[in-house]
Structure 1
């Protein structure tokens, strides 16, 4: 598996990143360890987690995914240097995490200490802001009228961002984190952090992870252009649209234990009639070319221009093997043209 430089950092990460948000809910400690071992054996050196996880979030499972990874690290101390470990501070609105408060400098210092303790490590390679303090168009809120930017106090946003960067700078100087990144942000958010970093000689955001898949294309082309031009690594999350692009929910199916059977913090926002029509159309393309829907969907994201490393997740080893196996596929011009036809028919299906 190829590696790529993570933005302007000195980190070389695999082009596939192992996501972990089901660990502690749908997956046990032993299953998480098996996934880590398999991923490392197949060239993946990049693991992403968050203080919020497992997902769906709950007070009982909060931080449990980091704990699972920490247990694996404690049992494989010699491999810590082989792994690029990323985690995230939760944004506001989670009552059991810092009483639901948003992200500021003080919260970051508390959150980093908690993550380091659960992860059983002295440092975090990439520390990310899970979502913005301001209301943004993420998590299914990208339709007209759902977010009004005029309600954001821009001056207050900039002041908070400066405090965040100053706290991150202190933590880097202390050796507790190496690099910093964003999650679920916008071109404006990226640009503001980069501008503040340059103005005040503070850490530069080296990456952003946002939702991106055949069902969720709003980052192309504008946000991805910002990432390419500013050398910010783009890390798609949910490339299978929460599992929908595996085809498991076709014809109204809701397999036991799958994510759509569980209460979600932002609802099952991908479950729309247009989504199901789009999924069926993509499956028809995959069938015509001897591919599974999962292979088609992942290979399309893996080779999308401007993508640095794609965050995958699995609840079974069979799923993980298929996800990683899709990395070696190269979609032909004919397949890509057929995919484009479906995209034009269903550009925003949920």
Structure 2
């Protein structure tokens, strides 16, 4: 397993990060335990979760994924020091999480304490803001004029960011979190937090996780260049585009028990004809290379310049083994060239 520095922190994380959002819905406690144990046996030391999980989110299941991880930690207390544990505070919009309110300083402190209790640990290595208070161009809102930037109250947003950073500092001073980061944010969001951190001597954001994959690579080049030069770890989530890049949803297929058979908070916005056409071509490229389509997508993601660690997930050990093995592959120039041609043909298929 290869490792990278987590931004400006002193933490080395595996190039593969074990995602957990299926634990508690599609996966049982026993299966979650098996995935953690298997990942650690393969050299993975980085686990990502969130108070929101499992996904699709619900008030009934809220916090259950963290609880599963906490149960594993409680049963394996000597191994806590061997993992880099990341979690996230949910943003506004869900009535069963702080009445759907925005992220405030008070919310940060309450959520950190609640996550620590569920995780049965004294500290979280990386605590992230799951999405910003303002609307950001994610979840199919990245096309021109899908959201309105000019109507945003910049001063208000900045004041909220400052309050959040001050609360994060309190949590860090108390030893409850080691580092902080972002998720589903933008270049402006990164830089505003950096500016406030420097101006007020507050913690620096060390990482950002955004969706990034063969079907959705809008963060290249501008946001990733910003991350590289500002020493911010870039952590792609959904490198398989919600499972699409495994090929299992081609031609309208909905395998029993798969995520797309469940109600999705943002709908099946990735399910477009253009995505199907692109995936069909990626499947052929993968077959010609003697690997699976999922492995092609994961290896490509890992080798994008500026990527720190790719967040993967699985609902079975067989899937997890296949996905982890992808990071040991070396794609030929011919394969990479073929992939590049598909990206040119379908630069933004959803």
Task: Give the TM-score category using the shorter length.
Answer: over 0.9
Query: Shift in Å at residue 3 of structure 1?
Result: 1.2
In structure 2, C-alpha distance between the alignment counterparts of 1:172 and 1:144, rounded to whole Å: 38
In structure 2, C-alpha distance between the alignment counterparts of 1:289 and 1:246, rounded to whole Å: 15
> 1:47 maps to what in 2?
47
> 1:113 maps to what in 2?
113
Alignment of 1:100-179 (within 5 A): 100-179=100-179
In structure 1, C-alpha distance between the alignment counterparts of 2:265 and 2:114, rounded to whole Å: 23
Alignment of 1:278-293 (within 5 A): 278-293=278-293
Instruction: Structure 1: state its 5+ residue gaps.
Output: none
In structure 2, C-alpha distance between the alignment counterparts of 1:196 and 1:12, rounded to whole Å: 26
In structure 1, C-alpha distance between the alignment counterparts of 2:252 and 2:113, rounded to whole Å: 44
The reply to whether residue 59 of structure 1 matches residue 59 of structure 2 is: yes
Query: Shift in Å at residue 332 of structure 1?
Result: 1.3
Query: Shift in Å at residue 284 of structure 1?
Result: 1.2
Query: Shift in Å at residue 289 of structure 1?
Result: 1.7
**Superimposed CA distance per residue, residues 40-67 of structure 1 (whole angstroms, 9 cap, x where no aligned partner):** 0000000000000000000011000000
Query: Shift in Å at residue 303 of structure 1?
Result: 1.0
> 2:270 maps to what in 1?
270
> 2:197 maps to what in 1?
197
**Superimposed CA distance per residue, residues 92-135 of structure 1 (whole angstroms, 9 cap, x where no aligned partner):** 00100000001010100000010000000000000000001001
SS at match of 2:150: helix
> 2:212 maps to what in 1?
212
SS at match of 1:149: coil
> 2:186 maps to what in 1?
186
In structure 1, C-alpha distance between the alignment counterparts of 2:102 and 2:24, rounded to whole Å: 24
SS at match of 1:150: coil
> 1:13 maps to what in 2?
13
Query: Shift in Å at residue 2 of structure 1?
Result: 1.2
In structure 2, C-alpha distance between the alignment counterparts of 1:199 and 1:7, rounded to whole Å: 20
Instruction: Structure 2: state its 5+ residue gaps.
Output: none
* RMSD after superposition: 0.6
Query: Shift in Å at residue 261 of structure 1?
Result: 1.1
Query: Shift in Å at residue 290 of structure 1?
Result: 1.4
Question: Could you tell which deviates more after superposition, 178-187 or 247-256?
Answer: 247-256
Runs of 4+ in structure 1 over 6 Å off: none
> 2:226 maps to what in 1?
226
Query: Shift in Å at residue 287 of structure 1?
Result: 1.5
| TM superposition score normalised by structure 2 | 0.99
SS at match of 1:267: coil
> 1:94 maps to what in 2?
94
Query: Shift in Å at residue 222 of structure 1?
Result: 0.6
Aligned residues: 350
In structure 2, C-alpha distance between the alignment counterparts of 1:278 and 1:44, rounded to whole Å: 31
**Superimposed CA distance per residue, residues 172-230 of structure 1 (whole angstroms, 9 cap, x where no aligned partner):** 00000000000000000000000100011000000000000000010000100000010
| TM superposition score normalised by structure 1 | 0.99
**Superimposed CA distance per residue, residues 312-331 of structure 1 (whole angstroms, 9 cap, x where no aligned partner):** 00001111000000010011
In structure 2, C-alpha distance between the alignment counterparts of 1:15 and 1:286, rounded to whole Å: 22
